[in-house]
Structure 1
Amino acid sequence: MKWKCFMLAVVLLLETCAGNDLQAERKMAADFGMNIKKVYASQQLPNDKKQQSLKKAENIEESVQPAQTVTPSATEPATTEPSETEPAVTGPATTEPSATEPSVTEPATTEPAVTEPAKTATPPATRTPAPSEGAVTASPVPIPTEMVDLEPGRVAKLYFCGRGRHKVTVSWKKTANATSYLVYRKASGQEKYTLRAEVTAHKYLDKSLTFNKKYRYQVVAVNKTDGIRKAAGRTGTYNNRTIVQTDHQKYSYAEMSADIQKLQDKYHGIVHTSVIGKSEDGRNLYDVVIGNTKASKTLLVVANLHAREYMTSELCMDQIEYYLENYYTAREGGSWKKTFDKIAVHYVPMANPDGTTISQFGIKGIRSAALRKRLRKLKSGSTTIWKANARGVDLNRNYPVRFRKQGKRGPMGYSGPKACSESETRAIKKLTDQLRSQKTLRGVISYHAMGSIIFGGSGLGGTLQKNTDRLYYQSRRLTGYASAAGYHSSSGGDGNFLTYIHEVTKVPGITLEVGRYTCPGPAREYPSVWKCNKMVVIQAAKLFR
């Protein structure tokens, strides 16, 4: 009997386990079927409907409630644990010893309910459906970007600065978008340019020039940011020749004006020119400055106050070119650049251009018909020895110092009706006073002809006398010229430019009378004049720097 009860309990237990497994299998099948439906729907529907179908399937899945606790059916026998009293088992009779055990009653065995975590509804992931065969795929829309102009700007102009006879610096202003510059060169007589260098700075030093040759340069701006872009080239000519020609006698106003422009072109940055006024016949009065225009000291050189003394204009222009040519040359005590950086030299190379024109070409050289008419009435004879301006006034007696009316209108000796009556006098006085008011003027040199003598000053007193004597004796040593102490001027210094410098501006000054022969001086005399005077101004600048 005990054995039968035991077997019955085992059968009931197995059926209960089988029932639980069957429910689990049914749930797995249901889940699998749901997934099959979703996949099938996504394959059969068009793309837009696939999305809707998938979303519905996901919503259905999310609405499924967790599985409930499964209990045995009322029709199924409850699973119980056998009692300690073993049931009888059909078989051969076996006598088991009787054992009285306490009876233990256990509840019916059930499978615990599997509670799945609740699913939080989230929006479905964005899916990009694969394009169906034959479908047109839209190209991505480009994002607009700001256009950047990388085209290099063209060089506007080339500038040249000679450094002796075999070097030149070519420079230009920086251009937009340029990463470098190509520098080309060809000499006179050559057909093609050759590339000399590629530079990133906006200048180039050429060290391989031949003197007395003309060179043409071309500079091309380049941008290599993303490839190579080139601007149109800019060309310029450098004339590596002597500009001021001194092998002829009549160095004219027109020639001087042209030479001033050529010197500016050849020596850009170290020579500067301005017009300080006009002559009575409308010609320019030039102020040519060598060196640093912002220097704290200046030296003033004035030539050709007397018309027939135009060799002094030639001399001053020759000095200007000589000093510019050797501006960077290493010399004893350093280059002249060091001097010109500290003291700028102002030249007025032709203070009386109208009178010079009359002396060289006669009254017909005067532009104004009214002036020509008045000059012809003077009946002065030969105009070659003319000293006055186009109005018959001696400019070296027209300054506002001890002025007195002297002589009569004509080729020489007339002081003018009053001090500073002439435009040439006013222009030079204005420049002198301006330099003096700026407290930069350290000395004045006035060039005349002839006599090979030097005027200094006496009775000036103090520092003025001391500095005048320094300039005077230094210039005498350089030139070999004699003292002018025994020379007596008919004007007595009244209205004289040097007298104005000493007594009004209180600045050291000297006058040099060049040449030994007649005036105008012959061309053959110029070499000796040059030899005596080529170092006078630069040494004066060093004296006062």
Structure 2
Amino acid sequence: MAMAGEYSPELLSKEIRRLSRKYPFITTGTIGRTVLGKPIPYLRLGAGPFRWHFNGACHANEWITTLLLMRFAEDYAHACARRLPFWGKTAKDLFSRCSLWIVPMVNPDGVELVQRGMSAKHPLFKDLLQWNRGSRRFHRWKANARGVDLNDQFPAHWEEERQRRAVAAPGPRDFSGIGPLSEPEAAALAKFTEETDFHAVIALHTQGEEIYWNYRNDEPAESRGWAESLAVASGYRAVYLEGSDAGYKDWFISQFKRPGFTVEAGWGHNPLPLDGFEELYDDIARLLAEALDCAPT
């Protein structure tokens, strides 16, 4: 697993190719493309009937979630191939019970801005410079390349969230767009979710060490218990959240009435530094392994 420096969209593509060559039971593909035409890749592991989905880097300056998911995928594949224990579970059992689709980086355009900034050759240079208050430094940028917050894009009381945010124009964060699913990244994730018909989902964000599991009383009865199990495994807090709409897990719960979770990994200021990665991964890997184990037998 590559660890030196920032985890870029190019490195992600390279690592996915490497993993699929090393572990032929990993299948890969793309769910769509970004505003700037970058592919949004996925990996699939497992052969079971329960369909899990994990995603990360919906917010650009939370790109460390991509690295967390890719490390988890590689460790899980290694344990399956070698028939090893996996965070207190039996990898072979999880593999036979669950099919897991991971979208490690929902927002590659935004991640690239955070990590590299931009030059005058960027196709949206003038707009982005204006939206970023004249700065070429994008470390606080959460949005996609059109200045839209992708986790405020989903059709779950979208209008209420837009009014609550009260952000009228593109910028680094909190602009909900011109309408739900107006952005290709959010639209691709929604379509992928509908077509694959997931039984449960986790959207990985940073930071706060919290697990949000409810949405407007639409969540199924098992959601609270699953969240509490994830909290025990990770040391995080399961939180009943109100006053937030239009996120991916909000839409998933509202649309399907199935378990959906937003996990806020780690503590600090985004983007979280890599020097705390191992401790962060220890918590998240235990949480994600526990999630797979929540699947009915």
For the residue of structure 1 that corresponds to 2:200, the secondary structure is strand
After superposition, where does 1:116-515 map in structure 2 within 5 Å? 244-248=1-5, 250-268=6-24, 270-292=25-47, 295-327=48-80, 328-331=82-85, 335-364=90-119, 369=123, 371-380=124-133, 381=135, 382-404=137-159, 405=162, 406-407=166-167, 408-436=169-197, 441-457=198-214, 460=217, 464-485=219-240, 492-515=243-266
Across the aligned residues of Structure 1 and Structure 2, the Cα RMSD in angstroms comes to: 2.1
> Deviation at 1:346?
0.5
Q: 1:476 to 1:531 in 2, by over 3 A?
A: same
Q: 1:390 to 1:544 in 2, by over 3 A?
A: same
Whether the 8 Å contact between 1:246 and 1:526 is mirrored in structure 2 is no
Whether the 8 Å contact between 1:273 and 1:287 is mirrored in structure 2 is yes
Q: TM-score, normalised by structure 1?
A: 0.50
In structure 2, distance between residues paired with 1:388 and 1:447: 16
> Deviation at 1:536?
2.1
> Deviation at 1:272?
0.5
Q: 1:483 to 1:325 in 2, by over 3 A?
A: same
> Deviation at 1:518?
1.2
Of 275, 278, 283, the match for 1:527 = 278
Equivalent residue, structure 2, for 1:120? none
For the residue of structure 2 that corresponds to 1:363, the secondary structure is coil
Quick check: which one's helix share is greater?
2
Percent of aligned positions with the same letter in both sequences? 26
Larger Rg: 1
> Deviation at 1:330?
4.2
In structure 2, distance between residues paired with 1:430 and 1:519: 29
Structure 1 residues without counterparts, runs of 5 or longer = 1-243
Whether the 8 Å contact between 1:300 and 1:444 is mirrored in structure 2 is yes
Q: 1:337 to 1:477 in 2, by over 3 A?
A: same
> Deviation at 1:345?
0.4
> Deviation at 1:465?
3.2
Whether the 8 Å contact between 1:363 and 1:376 is mirrored in structure 2 is no
Equivalent residue, structure 2, for 1:9? none
Q: 1:458 to 1:402 in 2, by over 3 A?
A: closer
> Deviation at 1:494?
2.4
> Deviation at 1:403?
1.1
> Deviation at 1:251?
1.1
Whether the 8 Å contact between 1:460 and 1:502 is mirrored in structure 2 is no
> Deviation at 1:313?
0.5
State whether structure 2 residue 269 is matched by structure 1 residue 518. yes
> Deviation at 1:379?
4.0
In structure 2, distance between residues paired with 1:419 and 1:409: 15
> Deviation at 1:334?
7.7
In structure 2, distance between residues paired with 1:399 and 1:483: 23
For the residue of structure 2 that corresponds to 1:347, the secondary structure is strand
In structure 2, distance between residues paired with 1:367 and 1:386: 19
> Deviation at 1:291?
1.6
> Deviation at 1:363?
2.4
> Deviation at 1:377?
2.8
In structure 2, distance between residues paired with 1:386 and 1:368: 16
Equivalent residue letter for 1:251:
Y
For the residue of structure 1 that corresponds to 2:199, the secondary structure is strand
Q: 1:468 to 1:524 in 2, by over 3 A?
A: same
In structure 2, distance between residues paired with 1:470 and 1:252: 36
Whether the 8 Å contact between 2:132 and 2:172 is mirrored in structure 1 is no
> Deviation at 1:496?
1.2
> Deviation at 1:415?
0.2
In structure 2, distance between residues paired with 1:458 and 1:353: 27
Structure 2 residues without counterparts, runs of 5 or longer = none
In structure 1, distance between residues paired with 2:121 and 2:220: 44
Q: TM-score, normalised by structure 2?
A: 0.90
In structure 1, distance between residues paired with 2:233 and 2:23: 27
Write out per-residue CA displacement over residues 173-198 of structure 1, whole angstroms, 9 at most, x where no aligned residue. xxxxxxxxxxxxxxxxxxxxxxxxxx
Moved over 3 A (4+): 330-335
**Number of residue pairs aligned between Structure 1 and Structure 2:** 286
Whether the 8 Å contact between 1:286 and 1:348 is mirrored in structure 2 is yes
Higher relative contact order (CA 8 A, sep 6+): 2
In structure 2, distance between residues paired with 1:367 and 1:349: 27
In structure 2, distance between residues paired with 1:284 and 1:539: 30
> Deviation at 1:519?
0.8
In structure 2, distance between residues paired with 1:330 and 1:496: 36
Write out per-residue CA displacement over residues 89-112 of structure 1, whole angstroms, 9 at most, x where no aligned residue. xxxxxxxxxxxxxxxxxxxxxxxx
> Deviation at 1:512?
1.0
